[in-house]
Amino acid sequence: MANKYYFGEDLTVFYHYREDSEPSTDSPTIYLFEDMPTRAEASAGTGAIKTISSWSDSERDFAKKFTVTAVSDPDATSSNRLEDYFLAINYTLQASGDTVTDIQEIFIERPIGNTSSLNVNVRDIIAVESQIYNDLDEGFIESKIEQAINEMKLELKKQGYEFDKVKNKHDLKLPVIYKTIAEISLSQLTGLGDDNDVRNDKYEAKFLKAMKYLEIQYDRDGDGDVDLKAKPKRNFAYNIV
Spell out the residues 6+ positions from residue 56 whose beta carbon is closer than 8 angstroms to its own. 64, 65, 66
State pTM to two decimals.
0.50
Pick the closest to residue 89 from 162, 157, 197, 14 (CA basis). 14
Flag whether pLDDT at 1 surpasses 60.
no
Strand (E) or helix (H) holding 14? strand 11-16
Place 116 in a pLDDT band, splitting at 50, 70 and 90. low
Average pLDDT, the chain: 83
Place 240 in a pLDDT band, splitting at 50, 70 and 90. very low
CA dihedral 185, 190, 193, 199 (to 10 degrees): -10
Mean pLDDT within 111-125: 70
- In the chain, the N- to C-terminal Cα span, in Å, equals 32
Flag whether pLDDT at 173 surpasses 80.
yes
Domain ranges of the chain: 5-109, 122-240
Predicted local distance difference test score (pLDDT) of residue 140 = 86
**What's the pLDDT tens digit per position in 182-206?**
999 988 888 888 888 998 999 999 8
Q: Are strands 228-232 and 238-240 parallel, antiparallel or unpaired?
A: antiparallel
Predicted local distance difference test score (pLDDT) of residue 188 = 84
Pick the closest to residue 52 from 36, 37, 71 (CA basis). 71
Strand (E) or helix (H) holding 15? strand 11-16
Predicted local distance difference test score (pLDDT) of residue 225 = 75
How many Å apart are CA 201 and CA 75, to the nearest integer?
34
Predicted local distance difference test score (pLDDT) of residue 136 = 73
Contact 93, 25 (CB under 8 A): no
Predicted local distance difference test score (pLDDT) of residue 87 = 96
How many Å apart are CA 139 and CA 14, to the nearest integer?
37
Flag whether pLDDT at 33 surpasses 90.
yes
Mean pLDDT within 1-21: 81
Predicted local distance difference test score (pLDDT) of residue 111 = 65
How many Å apart are CA 213 and CA 208, to the nearest integer?
9
Flag whether pLDDT at 38 surpasses 70.
yes
Architecture of the domain spanning 5-109: Sandwich (2.60)
Q: Which segment of 27-36, 82-91, 225-234 scores lowest on mean pLDDT?
A: 225-234
Exposed, middle or buried, 173 (CB in 10 Å: 0-12/13-18/19+)? buried
Q: What percent of the chain lies above the pLDDT cut of 70?
A: 87
Flag whether pLDDT at 93 surpasses 70.
yes
Predicted local distance difference test score (pLDDT) of residue 43 = 96
Pick the closest to residue 34 from 4, 90, 72, 77 (CA basis). 72
How many Å apart are CA 183 and CA 131, to the nearest integer?
15
